[in-house]
Amino acid sequence: MVADLQETDIRETTPNEIEKDNLKKIIKQTFPLLFISLIGSLFAGLILGGMEETLKTIPGLIVVVPAVLDMRGNIYGALGSRLSTGLHQGLIEPKLIYERNLIVAISAALFNGGVVSIVLGASAYLTLNILKIKVISLFELIAITFLSGITSGLILTVIVLISLFIGFKKGIDPDNLVGPVVTVSGDIFSILILFLVAKLIIGGI
């Protein structure tokens, strides 16, 4: 009986069939998200284009834009990847409760985000000064990068957590979710928050 079952199992799922099935599954799960991220990035590009005036009035700000966009993806992408491996291995439960693994992963990401933001502000100021390009004061630049880094970091952490947990419960592989979720929300929120904080600090609002 048991042997029979095993044999039919083997016959029903030859390696080729597993491959076809999985290929379809991977594409089906990731394609809609990639498409959403495509539209998201197109909008991020348009936002950036629309804020040309602000960029001109705050010298030095445009230099940190690509770094800010990248950094968010890197830090919170790593967080998402870590969480998805944790979910796969059962080390992290898909619930918003106090859990050591979860807290450690989140605080490491936020700490990294804060430190890197300060380094970014300082190095951008230094580079622009060496290249003799007009820039706002060191304190203002660091305040902008640090405050926007922490604020958008908190927003992104919440988005990553909730989307991964909901996705995982609905049977979507978190590995396929991480990338698109982080890049779309990262692009849009980090640009938006950066400009809001910059306007707040420089006094445009």
Choice between 109 and 197, CB closer to other proteins? 109
| 187 in contact with other proteins (CB under 8 A) | yes
Q: Does position 84 bind other proteins by CB under 8 A? A: yes
Determine the number of helices (DSSP H) and then strands (DSSP E) in the chain: 7, 0
- Please identify which residue in 54, 93, 155, 175 interacts with other proteins, judged by CB under 8 A: 175
Closest CA to 161 of 180, 142, 141, 182: 182
CA angle 124, 128, 131 (to 5 degrees): 145
List phi, psi (to 5°) of 122. Answer: -65, -45
| 94 touches other proteins by CB under 8 A | no
> Least Å distance between CB 154 and other proteins?
20
CA 195/CA 58 separation, integer angstroms:
10
Contact indicator for 120, 158 with CB cutoff of 8 Å? no
Counting contacts by CB under 8 A, is residue 73 touching other proteins? yes
Q: Which of 17, 45, 56, 111 binds other proteins (CB under 8 A)?
A: 45
CA distances (Å), 102 to each of 72, 79, 133, 164, 185, in order?
Answer: 19, 10, 43, 13, 20
Interaction of residue 13 with other proteins, rule CB under 8 A: no
Q: Does 123 bind other proteins (CB under 8 A)?
A: no
Question: What is the contact surface with other proteins in residues (CB under 8 A)?
Answer: 15, 19, 22-23, 26-27, 30-31, 34-35, 37-42, 44-46, 48-49, 66, 69-70, 73-75, 77-78, 80-82, 84-85, 88-89, 175-176, 178-180, 182-183, 187
